[in-house]
Amino acid sequence: MSESLEELFLFGEEKMEKAIASLKREFASVRSGRANPMILDKVLVDYYGAPTPLRQMSQVSVQDGTTLVISPYDKSILKEIEKAIIKAEIGITPNSDGICIRLPFPPLTEERRREIVKDVKKMGEDAKVAVRNVRRDMTDDLKKLEKSENLPEDTVKGNQDDIQKLTDKYTAMIDSAVSEKEKEVMTV
């Protein structure tokens, strides 16, 4: 395999890895009935005029599997944290006792679970589209290489098969991640 062919596969695989990583980050913010601190990753608190991630300014712990307890390092910003959680629209109302904030995760209804599963499948489909776009780019780059380096036809065909195998591998990983998340959401 020539240097540029190796690079083509390295870059392609790296981009496919990024699609999977992005999907897993999205899945982390999906509510599944269990308390998950990662749901707070997108919550930004106005801390002295600067939007600051909530998890950088407080300790977040899971209590009894269904409640998140947020203990800010600076108790004077409890109100700001509450406002930020409400503004983030995560679907949970914060309860403050003046020392910490509790986020009770209500059990999800069957109907809501099905809606979440639909969202999870759509996220999976979007990740597959990203992987297929990488495949298309790799195939286009392979055709350019074929012209510029006069690659033999059987080499090009073999590399196209390798690109497809790589795509299939990552598509299977996405399917696996989607079905795992689906199980997690549907488990009561």
Pair (179, 123) in one structural domain: yes
User: Residues 70-84: what's their mean pLDDT?
Assistant: 89
Q: What is the pTM of this model?
A: 0.73
Pair (136, 73) in one structural domain: no
User: Residues 166-180: what's their mean pLDDT?
Assistant: 96
In tens, the pLDDT along 97-145 reads 988 999 888 888 888 889 889 999 999 999 999 999 999 999 999 988 8
The two most distant CA atoms of the chain are separated, in Å, by 72
Pair (8, 60) in one structural domain: no
Percentage of the chain lying above the pLDDT 90 cut: 41
Strand partners of residue 163: none
Pair (167, 114) in one structural domain: yes
- The per-residue pLDDT for 123 is 95
Helices (H), the chain: 3-28, 78-87, 110-149, 153-186
DSSP 54: G
| CATH code for the domain of 163 | 1.10.132.20
- The per-residue pLDDT for 161 is 94
Pair (119, 155) in one structural domain: yes
pLDDT greater than 60 at residue 175: yes
Pair (176, 129) in one structural domain: yes
Pair (86, 133) in one structural domain: no
The one-letter code for the residue type at 87 is K
Pair (42, 98) in one structural domain: yes
| CATH code for the domain of 70 | 3.30.1360.40
Pair (88, 178) in one structural domain: no
Say how far apart CA 84 and CA 95 lie, in whole Å.
13
CA dihedral of residues 21, 25, 28, 30 (deg, nearest 10): -120
Pair (120, 180) in one structural domain: yes
- The per-residue pLDDT for 181 is 92
Question: Of the candidates 81, 104, 127, which is a domain's last residue?
Answer: 104
Question: Any idea which residue has 């780019």 for tokens?
Answer: 137
Number of domains, the chain: 2
Q: Give the structural domain span for 126.
A: 3-29+109-186
| CA-derived radius of gyration, the chain | 22
The one-letter code for the residue type at 72 is P
- Evaluate whether 45 touches 52 at the Cβ level (below 8 Å): yes
In tens, the pLDDT along 3-30 reads 688 899 999 999 999 999 999 988 877 7
Mean pLDDT taken over the chain: 89
- The per-residue pLDDT for 92 is 82
Pair (117, 173) in one structural domain: yes
- The per-residue pLDDT for 2 is 60
Pair (46, 114) in one structural domain: no
Question: Of the candidates 79, 104, 129, which is a domain's last residue?
Answer: 104
- The per-residue pLDDT for 138 is 94
User: Residues 149-166: what's their mean pLDDT?
Assistant: 90
Question: Of the candidates 104, 122, 145, which is a domain's last residue?
Answer: 104
Angle 70-72-77 (CA atoms, 0-180°, nearest 5)?
A: 115
**Alpha-carbon distances, residue 48 vs 51, 74, 79 (angstroms):** 8, 12, 13
Q: How confident is the model at residue 48 (pLDDT cuts 50, 70, 90)?
A: confident
- The per-residue pLDDT for 149 is 84
